[in-house]
Amino acid sequence: MGFRGALVLLGAALALGQARQARARGSDQLLGWSADRTWFLARNDPGQREDGSVPFKVCATSDADSATFPSWVRAAIPVGELCFDSDDVGLPALRQLVPRVRKARAGGGPLGLKVKLTTSDEGNTVIATFTRGKARDTAQRAFYGDGPARLRKVYWSPDGSAAIVEVADREGSLDWFGFGLRALVPSKSAGDPALAGALNLEGLARYREGDYHAARVAFAHAAAVDPTLPAAHYNLAAMSAIFGDAAVALRELGWLAASKDARSKVFLDKVPRDGDFARLAVDPAFRTLVGLPVLQPSESPMGRLLLSVGGVWSLPAATCERPTVVLAFTKDGLTATLRSCPAYDGTKLETVVGTWTPSPTTATAEIALPGLGKGKQPISFERCPGSTVDAGCLRLGARPGLGPFHRGVAPDPAEVATRPAAPTD
């Protein structure tokens, strides 16, 4: 789609219109989940509106989730209603609730979850039966399509706690229904090693897909379900480090350091070589915890600081309207990669090649980037926002220049803006 196309999509997504008529015919496109997967946003078919406006609707994934809608929403919709739109709450209010959504991914069910869909004899109700092993849970949703509903895709939350089911009617019109699955995957299941292991594997799968937020949710759930599982603590620490959440990362690493499980020491020994911990590379507490000498920036050669933990530095965009810039320093040169927000499609927009020259106490870079002057520009280190650690971040050029760059690959701004506290249940 490209970055410009992403901006067009964002503009369309904010131009919310009426949706009541569209409910009866289904939705045209699923835009994504909320950060906590308790609701989703769908865009209806604008062809159903005489004025050509683009209607949108927001639906909770379960009755319990709809109870968490803001009071001004609950006052505007019938009790127990799972969906609402701009007709119900107005455009400005809806914008407050849905500033960002995350792309939903269809696929097989995590943790052995499966679903079977049927339609009532009257044709106005879809019946979804979810199973996990011998456990079973059934829920119904009103259906306004033409003829029986046909199951097309299922979008699962990373920890198996919710699902969005995509259906089509006889004419091919699409609609989506959300379901909460806590009856099959309870949030408090401490002492269930099998579930914890499955959640940890689900987190690894989401991590390999690049969905760090989903991976973090799954790892946190795994650590809560089985607090004795070293892999879950290690993975949650790594994901928290990626998000710059030093408190949670250090807490989980501290658990590994105090654990008497032999596997914990193996994991702790891996930390200095794991690039996911790059943002903590110069944090004294982190270095002490993993057995590294405390780094004194004033005594360390610039090259060593720039190349530490893979030499990758990220400048996350403040919003999805601007690209994220990722610098990669190597002994042979410097490259900068500009990417659009993964909330759109994560497209690589451009790669720029430059050079850098280090000395023991200074360094310069020459690379053509927006907002950066021509010719050799100074490289300096500074504290990251909200941190007390020296040399945690990097800046290119004389102030304001470009910065601050954080070590490692940063998550997209949609994830940062909606970053939840790590679950503890």
Please give the average per-residue pLDDT across 82-93, as a whole number.
69
Asked if pLDDT for residue 389 goes beyond 90, the answer is no
pLDDT tier at 424, thresholds 50, 70, 90: very low
CB 67 within 8 A of CB 77: no
- Of the given ranges (183-192, 195-204, 271-280, 323-332), which has the lowest mean pLDDT? 183-192
Asked if pLDDT for residue 25 goes beyond 70, the answer is no
**Residue 370: its H or E element:** none
pLDDT tier at 50, thresholds 50, 70, 90: low
Q: Distances in Å between the alpha carbon of 373 and those of 25, 337, 401? A: 54, 18, 8
pLDDT of residue 128: 93
pLDDT in tens, 231-244: 999 999 999 998 88
Asked if pLDDT for residue 87 goes beyond 90, the answer is no
Please give the average per-residue pLDDT across 394-409, as a whole number.
87
Structure token digits, residue 297: 């920036």
Q: Distances in Å between the alpha carbon of 233 and those of 38, 258, 287, 311, 359? A: 25, 12, 18, 26, 39
CA angle 67, 71, 75 (to 5 degrees): 95
Please give the average per-residue pLDDT across 367-395, as a whole number.
85
pLDDT tier at 151, thresholds 50, 70, 90: very high
Q: Distances in Å between the alpha carbon of 299 and those of 294, 295, 304? A: 11, 8, 11
pLDDT of residue 347: 56
Q: If 0-12 CB within 10 Å is exposed, 13-18 middle and 19+ buried, where does residue 236 land?
A: buried
pTM value > 0.85 = no
pLDDT of residue 237: 95
pLDDT of residue 268: 93
Asked if pLDDT for residue 222 goes beyond 50, the answer is yes
Q: In 3D, which of 421, 424, 414, 310 has the Cα closest to residue 34?
A: 414
Structure token digits, residue 298: 């004033």
Give the residues across from 335 on adjacent strands. Answer: 328, 353
Rounded distance, CA 351 to CA 204, Å? 28
pLDDT tier at 24, thresholds 50, 70, 90: very low
